[in-house]
Amino acid sequence: MQKSLSVIRPRSSPYLKVVGSIVWKDLVAELRSRELVAAMLVFALLIILIFNFTIELQPDLRMTITPGVLWVTLAFAGTLGLNRSMAIEKDRGCLDGLLLAPVDRSAIYFGKAISNLAFMLIMAVIVLPVYSLLYNINILKLGLFLVVFLGSTGYAAIGTLLASMAVQTRTRDVLLPVLLFPVIIPILLAAVRATGGFLQDLPISEILPWLNILIGFDVIFIVVAFLVFEFVVEE
């Protein structure tokens, strides 16, 4: 066992390389386990099915409730993913392993947030066509994908920060939605309105204010998380 090791000196790892390494690690781990996206997907599809079976709707009413049902589905299923994503880090002490690295802690935040965003978008890409089929409505529109991207970005940005807080408590499964849902009301509201606008083919001038709100809250949530993440993860 008494082998010799060469002398090596760590140096500061480039910021983007750290972010990329965390995203790579999360995606590879998820590809192997499939426990996170699978859970989100099953939950999302169940919500859609339950809405489909419990609400008898006229075709014109379907279009009205679609944005709400869609975003409730994405938000609920997204919470499941956020919780699981941080629990994987916490349960085996991996979060400590990340925090022990000599890297800017905001890079850890961005790595986790981008992974969470990727999982949200994968779920959305599968859920949207299923929704179209079940409700017999064409919701596969380019503008809608933009809204899903912007809404998911804000959701993942603040959700990752709050999940990092919640995961350190015993009641993390309950605490995350309690913390998250009040904070993301502006994102959900703007996303629902923008989605409705695109589905009803409203002129872009009527949708643009909602898109601007989405972009504004995305920026606010990212900046806030960037500033406070270090304090949130430290005891």
Q: Which residues bind another protein (CB under 8 A)?
A: 1-14, 17-18, 21, 24-25, 28-30, 32-33, 88, 92-94, 96-104, 234-235
User: What's the min distance (Å) between Cβ of 160 and another protein?
Assistant: 18
**Long-range own/partner contacts, residues 218-226 (CB < 8 A, 24 or more apart):** 218/150, 218/153, 218/154, 218/157, 218/187, 221/154, 221/157, 221/158, 221/161, 221/187, 222/113, 222/157, 224/158, 224/161, 225/109, 225/113, 225/157, 225/158, 225/160, 225/161, 226/106, 226/109, 226/110
Which residue from 47, 40, 133 is spatially nearest to 85, judged by alpha carbons? 40
Which tokens go with 133? Answer: 């089929």
Q: Give whichever of 66 and 115 is closer to another protein, judged by the CB atom.
A: 115
Q: Give whichever of 204 and 227 is closer to another protein, judged by the CB atom.
A: 227
User: What's the min distance (Å) between Cβ of 114 and another protein?
Assistant: 15
Q: Give whichever of 88 and 148 is closer to another protein, judged by the CB atom.
A: 88
User: What's the min distance (Å) between Cβ of 235 and another protein?
Assistant: 4
User: What's the min distance (Å) between Cβ of 37 and another protein?
Assistant: 13
User: What's the min distance (Å) between Cβ of 15 and another protein?
Assistant: 11
Q: Give whichever of 33 and 212 is closer to another protein, judged by the CB atom.
A: 33
Judge contact between 30 and 36, C-beta under 8 A.
Answer: yes
Q: Give whichever of 8 and 142 is closer to another protein, judged by the CB atom.
A: 8
b/e code 161-187 from CB counts within 10 Å (16+ = b):
bbbbbbbeeeebeebbbebbeebbeeb
